Structure 1
């Protein structure tokens, strides 16, 4: 008697855990927590340029942007700029923010070395300033054409390991180099990742919480197929954008059963989006999970002054309240309002303070969550065939133009 099937069943936590343990042998982001950062730290100390310009797109810039935005009060006197869009107006605007293009270090980031957006912007920079080893560093795979260019011109390079995908690369030199140059403590950043990693693989605190969340999302993916992050701090706007790429590009796939999977990420910022999207959450279709992210201590003591404004005296109850307390009261009130409804799945993440350790924990835990959800759904979490198809069409368009 033979039995064959073309459907899949949701596996047990132990089966998925064993798969993740095996995955560590071929998926490199798990192992970045223990990397040697001495070369990055040594090079960072030599950088005297005032403008640090990251030229990259998607996974080559979003993670760095997320961490730097979160730690904006930690930066040194240098300015960090991002050139990623081929929108000519946006490119010109961002270049205008660079106070002195001759006092800039250009960090060119492309895993393949042939990313059309990145290389196009790099070409344009060549028309504005002389690019050489004094003002350029390349981060790429060690056998890419960008690496060959760098070696030919004696330009410093850092390697993106082949087994680390772009959207999982923030804790590789892709993120660590520019962040270290900006004065951010990358050791503490990796310590945060390491705490989550060790806890998870030793089946301690993070093991239970991440698996519980992943299993719920997969078991209810047809009912709650929209996953909302509601971050109560503008410091987390960059994190939201990074999460959207990580979640969407990793989990929007066809599984082994040939069924299209669709967990759709949405990033909101409180309290601003209380006045827009919250209405949809509260009274719209019940197709969303909501994760609230709070900052426990902003380390900022600004107080609403004890002032009465004519005709607005009814709001004097906010007088003498610290803004950091107000935003968390707004968060708690929204959380309670959503939870009181009773049929909107919610969870709350509280970041203890604004530092490297805590943003490292948050981002690494979301990388793990993404991997586990992908394993439960039985998809290839790390490819992006839907994105590659558009790249192929674009290249063909250029070839057709050349033939005219």
Structure 2
């Protein structure tokens, strides 16, 4: 008797690990930490313009914005990044007010080279200032229409590898070029990603962390199908948005036996969302796992002064406390409150300090976690067919304007 099957089944951790290893040759993001950055750094040194306008959407901007937002509060950058992502006309005009067009480098980023939002904004910007090799650089696939346009006009181009999907592209030229121009140490960034990569594939610390977390999520996905990231730093708001795209677009799929998978991502910022969403977590339906992300070293010693307000003696216990200590204790108190409830799965990630190395570790960890969960539930983690249908409908409607 012979027997074969194609239906969904939760595999062993070792089997899943082998599946992920088998992807390395086909899925390009795995090798990005080991790339040569010489060309990018040489180009970045030549950029003298103070304003860098990034025109792109989704995976072309979210990862870069996440790193920029995380680092800019503790770094002294002499250039500024501006993100043109939406076709909202009021947003475009507001962002243009912050630019000196003559002192702006435009980075046009689109993997396909035909992203409607990106090309529409590019067309509009081209009506305001002449785009040339002096003020415009293209980041796209090497055979896209956008790259062909750049070559025709002798503009600098950087390739996005065909086997690197947009939401996994932050450590490719998509993120490295604008970040290097800004002054970010991109080698230290890749060093952080590399540490997580090596630890995972050598089945050391990050292998255990990622595999255990992925297995719990998959084995309990019907009960806990909502995954909350609760970040205790305003500088991680960009990371939260990046995580939501990575998690939602990668894992909202139909698996091998036709079952719709749904691990829904939510991004919260502490302590702000303690005053809103925390109530739902604490006393609402038990359908959520929570990951707290804390920063151990904010590199800021700003203190809450004493004796500056009359009539608040009952709050003198915060006097002379640093804000960094206060937000850490707010996180700890929230974590303890959930722990005492006893029925809300949660874990804690602590970022050692605010730098390139540590944000890269966090982001690469989440990329690997996404790939592992995708293998467990037996889906194609790297496509997005649910998004494509809407694009086709929009294109047809716009073509039929008459």
TM bin, normalised by shorter chain, reads over 0.9
What is the deviation of 1:311?
2.2
TM-score by length of 2: 0.99
Residues 110-152 of structure 1 deviation map (CA, whole Å, 9 limit, x = unaligned) = 0000000000000000111110000000000000000000000
Rounded Cα–Cα distance in structure 1 between residues aligned with 2:384 and 2:105: 31
- Which residues in structure 2 correspond to 1:302-321 (within 5 Å)? 302-307=302-307, 309-321=309-321
The aligned residue for residue 349 of structure 1 is 349
- Aligned pairs, number: 401
Q: CA RMSD in A?
A: 0.9
**Offset, 1:93:** 1.1
Show the counterpart of 2:79: 78
- Give the match's secondary structure for 2:296: strand
Q: Structure 1-normalised TM-score?
A: 0.98
* Unpaired segments ≥5 residues, structure 1: none
Over residues 164-209 of structure 1, what are the superposed CA-to-partner deviations in whole Å (9 max), with x where a residue is unaligned?
Answer: 0000000000000000100100000000000000000001000000
1:97 and 2:98 matched: yes
Q: Residue in 1 aligned with 2:48?
A: 48
**Which aligned pairs between 1:174-323 and structure 2 lie closer than 5 A?**
174-307=174-307, 309-323=309-323
| Superposition misfits of 4+ residues, deviation over 2 angstroms | 1-7, 308-311
CA distance in 2, matches of 1:119, 1:210: 38
Q: Offset of 1:310 from its aligned partner?
A: 2.2
Question: Match of 2:330?
Answer: 330
1:3 Cα shift? Answer: 3.9
2:367 maps to: 367
Deviation at 1:6, TM superposition (A): 5.2
8 Å CA contact retained: 1:229, 1:292: yes
Q: Which residue of 1 aligns with 2:391?
A: 391
| Preserved CA contact (<8 Å) 1:251 1:370 | yes
| Cα distance in 2 for residues equivalent to 1:37 and 1:5 | 45
Partners of 2:6 and 2:375 in 1: how far apart?
Answer: 17
SS at match of 1:74: coil
Structure 2 alignment gaps of length 5 or more: none
Q: How far does the alpha carbon of each residue in 1:205-252 deviate from its partner, in whole angstroms, 9 at most, with x for none?
A: 000000000000000001000000000000100000000000000000
Post-superposition offset of 1:7? 2.7
What displacement does 1:400 show? 1.7
Cross-structure match for 1:340: 340
